[in-house]
Amino acid sequence: MLRLYNTLSKTKEEFKPIDPGKVGMYNCGPTVYDYAHIGNLNAFLVADILRRQLEYNGYEVRQIMNITDVGHLTADDVNQADTGEDKMLKAVKRENKTPADIADFYTEKFFEDLKKLNIKKAAYYPRATAHIPQMIKIISGLIERGLAYEINGNVFYDIAKFSGYGKLSGKKIEDLKVGARLEEHPDKKNPWDFALWLKAPKEHILKWKSPWSLGYPGWHIECSAMSMEYLGETLDIHTGGEDHIFPHHENEIAQSEGFTGKKFSNYWLHNRFLLIDGAKMSKSKGNFYALKDIEEKGYIPMTFRLLILGSHYRSNLNFTENGIEQAKNNFKKISDWINNLENISQNIENPLPAEIDFSYIYLKRFEEAMNDDLNTPLALSVLYELITETNKLLTENKLGEKNAKNILVFWKKINKVFGLIIEKNITEIPAEISALAKERKIIRENKDFKKSDELREKIEKRGYTVEDLKNNNYLIKKL
């Protein structure tokens, strides 16, 4: 039974889909005027792990992620995504390209990042600019229902008219007056109303015809339009970063529920921010990382995936040099373990049988951890415990081919959720090396350790080594 923390109810709830066996999930996707930063990638990885766990539990998941190719962002701080100047237009000036070229280029880069991180492909990645008619339909509906108003070609949502406003974030309209980052516009009746459609100034490149003006949509409306277009009026799960709870997701609820009169999403999952050395990531602070920056530092993308798995999605992951170095070591530990297991069958003779079928017990603990609101750090610790136990059995010469195979079956099962790509390092041991190792074993049985050391040297000169196990057994490894 999968339990998920629902931001809407602020409790862990048992997950129940609308249609038995099927899940419709929407994830707020990237803006494509620049490279995705590792905070965005964290959110996409969390969505991927959630999808994989749902599939592990037997659900068929239809995942939709939008591509925001009409700009809406202003501040350099990635956590302020609601007001001001259009970042796409900024990129147009910076790179001297058309908005479509910029969107295509960074969408391509985004897909490359997903591939490198082994993030499963969503069923569909709808683009905002291809769904303007759907947005116009919802805006018209909201005006008809008296929830939105038009002034001078601009349309705003009258949030005081929507009684459920604030149910996700816990914010009250009264609180919004003070300190909230509210979008300013002279045509707004109330400062806390938000834009659904804006009349385009002359110099604005991206603009579309609408019943109100030649203009462009507000940011929030795209997610209501595209999620309902591909998943129906009520979603099972909607995810995003915690910065989206307010105003973005609160506004999505107001738009969608105001339009359909139905509940918009049954479960809302939000990941906490990723911090860099304890601080929020921002371009102005110079601590803004894309995946390529991490790769340039010499870390493979799988190291970053493992780093994310090592922290619970509802706690702030602090990205540090030490942390990624630790993840690198852990990744090597897992890779060595897998490769050892794969090599065991061909290189170990007559092992003593291990007495426990530990993979079953570990599997149960893994499942319990993951089904408890995706507790990935606990699930990983189960894996690390198994690695320690396996390595101990190996040196005691208790790990035979059958055990190794059982553990590999266990690994393949849990790795469907972890999604780690391990480079296979299976070594076909050359006959010459096998013969030398066998010769050395006989020499060791006769306790001629000087000769045995010479043979080890000979083996190592050829790029292999032998690890001595109990009862004079051994494991050959590539150096």
**Under the rule (CB under 5 A), what is the footprint of Zn ion?**
28, 223
Residue keyed to tokens 């803006």: 31
Q: Which of 358, 425, 429 is nearest to 391 (CA)?
A: 358
Q: Which is nearer to Zn ion, 45 or 223 (CB)?
A: 223
Please say whether the beta carbons of 55 and 416 come within 8 A.
yes
Q: Which is nearer to Zn ion, 70 or 223 (CB)?
A: 223
* Minimum distance of Zn ion from residue 265's CB (angstroms): 11
The secondary structure of 127-191 as a DSSP string is BGGG-HHHHHHHHHHHHHTTSEEEETTEEEE-GGG-TTTTTTT---HHHHTTT--PPP-TT-SST
Q: Which is nearer to Zn ion, 251 or 340 (CB)?
A: 251
Q: Which is nearer to Zn ion, 31 or 473 (CB)?
A: 31
Q: What is the C-alpha to C-alpha distance for residues 166 and 100, in angstroms, rounded to an integer?
A: 35
* Minimum distance of Zn ion from residue 222's CB (angstroms): 7
* Minimum distance of Zn ion from residue 168's CB (angstroms): 13
Q: Which is nearer to Zn ion, 28 or 334 (CB)?
A: 28
Please say whether the beta carbons of 343 and 477 come within 8 A.
yes
* Minimum distance of Zn ion from residue 326's CB (angstroms): 33
CA distances from 353 to 25, 75, 94, 384, 477 (A): 46, 62, 66, 22, 22
Q: What is the C-alpha to C-alpha distance for residues 422 and 434, in angstroms, rounded to an integer?
A: 26
Tell me which amino acid residue 379 is. Answer: A
Q: Which is nearer to Zn ion, 31 or 340 (CB)?
A: 31
* Minimum distance of Zn ion from residue 239's CB (angstroms): 10
* Minimum distance of Zn ion from residue 223's CB (angstroms): 3
* Minimum distance of Zn ion from residue 290's CB (angstroms): 21
The secondary structure of 426-439 as a DSSP string is -----HHHHHHHHH
Q: Which is nearer to Zn ion, 28 or 117 (CB)?
A: 28
Burial class (CB in 10 A: 0-12, 13-18, 19+), 77: middle
Q: Which is nearer to Zn ion, 263 or 458 (CB)?
A: 263
DSSP E strands: which ranges in 369-460? none
Please say whether the beta carbons of 378 and 418 come within 8 A.
no
Q: What is the C-alpha to C-alpha distance for residues 200 and 301, in angstroms, rounded to an integer?
A: 41
* Minimum distance of Zn ion from residue 84's CB (angstroms): 18
Q: Which is nearer to Zn ion, 66 or 339 (CB)?
A: 66
DSSP E strands: which ranges in 183-241? 194-199, 215-217, 235-241
Q: Which is nearer to Zn ion, 28 or 308 (CB)?
A: 28
* Minimum distance of Zn ion from residue 248's CB (angstroms): 6
Q: Take residue 24 and report the two structure tokens written for it.
A: 């419709």
CA distances from 366 to 329, 374, 379 (A): 21, 10, 5
Dihedral pair phi/psi, residue 126, rounded to 5°: -70, 145
CA distances from 360 to 380, 386, 408, 418 (A): 16, 11, 12, 18
* Minimum distance of Zn ion from residue 4's CB (angstroms): 19
Q: Which is nearer to Zn ion, 81 or 276 (CB)?
A: 81
Please say whether the beta carbons of 307 and 324 come within 8 A.
yes
